[in-house]
Structure formats: C-alpha cells, structure tokens
Amino acid sequence: METKINQKLSSKDEILGLLKKVQSSSITPEEALLKLQAAPFEDLGYAKVDLHRGLRQGVSEVIFGQGKTPEHILGIVSTMKENGLKNILITRISQETANIFEGTDIQIEYHAIPRLCIAEKDDSGPKVGSIVVAAAGTSDMAVSEEAAITAETLGNSVTRVYDVGVAGLNRLLSKLDIILSARVIIVVAGMEGALASVVGGLVSAPIIAVPTSIGYGANFAGLSALLTMLNSCASGVSVVNIDNGFGAGYIANRINRMGEPT
C-alpha cells in the first residue's frame, strides 16, 4: 500500500517499508528524506502527540484520560488514527466521556469495570507468551481488568485467576497449575496485600504486585497493601503504585516479550 508523503512515520514497519520503496525505486531518496524529517510529534496546542513512541519503545502512546476533557481526548485519538496507529489505549475514562466518539469514524471498545477504552482495535496479530493476572478478591477486579486488558491489547496471551485471596488458600492452590505455567504473573490485592508474598513463594516466574485501595480504615487507601508488598520476603516480587493496573500490564508485556521475535 502506497504511503502518503504527508503522513508521519509512526512505526518500525512503516520506516522499513519506506526504505524498501527507495530500494525498489518506487519513491526517490529525496521523497524518503521528507518523510523521515517529519516531526516525531504533532503539537495540538493542548497536547503534543508522540507519534514515534512505538518506534522507540515498541508500543504507541497511551492516553491517561483522567483530567482531560472529552474534546481533548477526541482530538488526540483522531491525530493518532490519522497517522495509522491502532490499538489506542485510553485509561480512566467514564462512559459519558467515551460517548464523545459517537458519530465519528473512530471505532471504540469500552470496558466499564476498569473504565478503559480501546480505539481502532486490531487483534489480528498472534497473542504471545503467557501472563497470569491473579486477584485476591472481586473488589479488586477494576484494577485487575485494567492490567489484563492492557496486556491483551499489547498482544499478550492473558489468563485471569480471580478471587483467590489468602482468606481461602485452597482457592489459590486449585489454580496452581495455571499459575506455574505463566511467564510473568501480576498479583492484585488490597486489604493487607499478602497474596503477592504467597504467590512469590510458590513460583519461579517474576511477579508484579499491584496494591489496591480496597480495604477498611487501617488500610489507609492502599498504603498497608503497598508496604506489605514492598517488604515481601519472597524473592522476585516487584511492586507498582497503588491501583496502577495499567503500569503492571505494561511492564508484564515487556517481560513476557523478552526473547520473542520483534
């Protein structure tokens, strides 16, 4: 498919395709130079959209929706779509905000529990590796789903193991075969956050622990779970911020893809 000269290059595949066109004399070196000189971001005034994020990091820019107006989100997504980007993640937005896409040519998939939206979804590629998301309780599902859907959108095979908290260890042990087969494990827990240490003592895979703000007063909005996870005596446990399911899914994607073909 012919690449328009006025469209910025936003992926390694597009740049490789451009170089092959020069090789085959489909375009001139001067035309290719114009493409490569295009700014790596587009300044919308209220946002500078990073179009080369995927080129540098392998994953396109993710939009943190909280605090942004629906109009700003629409403008950013429209710019990314115009530059050929797919699987655009928008985190922490309400259904009302997602409704801004109604009547546009942008296709979205909204997930109400994690308040997460995927624009221009393309799941035609294979899902690689094995990520397990283990959640202590149903109350942790919003954060768990943010992690799981983020990892799936980035092209990973994800298995969910929910409601396996330490209050009933038999539930966790009944899923041990699934957990042991994972390449990387995301453990999500509120309250005292002990699940990460328990899982860490059972597996050899790296663990990304996510403390949630779920809990009673002395939980201090997730601080107790955070401190428990940071002080885990189990080796191989790393910790992200409170309720940061997206961060866990993003890091798990990078770990899961180590050794995979680019």
Residues 67 and 149 in one domain: no
Residues 247 and 160 in one domain: yes
As beta bridge partners, residue 59 has none
Residues 182 and 248 in one domain: yes
pLDDT of amino acid 36: 62
pLDDT of amino acid 8: 56
DSSP state of 152: H
pLDDT of amino acid 4: 43
The overall pTM is greater than 0.75: yes
Q: Which region holds residue 234: left if phi is over 0, alpha if psi is between -120 and 50, else beta?
A: beta
Domain coverage including residue 75: 62-119
Query: What are the tokens at 48?
Result: 């500078």
The answer to whether residue 205 sits within a structural domain is yes
Q: Structurally, how many domains does the chain consist of? A: 2
The answer to whether residue 78 sits within a structural domain is yes
To 5 degrees, how large is the angle CA 205–CA 207–CA 213? 160
Question: What distance in Å separates the CA atoms of residue 209 and residue 59, rounded to the nearest whole number?
Answer: 22
- Please, are residues 156 and 260 in contact by the beta-carbon 8 Å criterion? no
pLDDT of amino acid 25: 86
Residues 113 and 134 in one domain: no
pLDDT of amino acid 6: 44
Residues 152 and 222 in one domain: yes
DSSP state of 121: -
The answer to whether residue 38 sits within a structural domain is no
Residues 232 and 138 in one domain: yes
Which of 74, 91, 119 is a domain's end point?
119
pLDDT of amino acid 27: 80
Residues 145 and 226 in one domain: yes
Q: Give me the average pLDDT of each 10-residue run along the chain (262 residues).
A: 46 73 84 66 86 79 93 94 89 95 93 95 89 95 97 95 91 93 96 93 95 92 94 92 96 88 57
Residues 137 and 98 in one domain: no
Question: What distance in Å separates the CA atoms of residue 10 and residue 85, rounded to the nearest whole number?
Answer: 7
pLDDT of amino acid 198: 94
- Please, are residues 124 and 145 in contact by the beta-carbon 8 Å criterion? no
The answer to whether residue 171 sits within a structural domain is yes
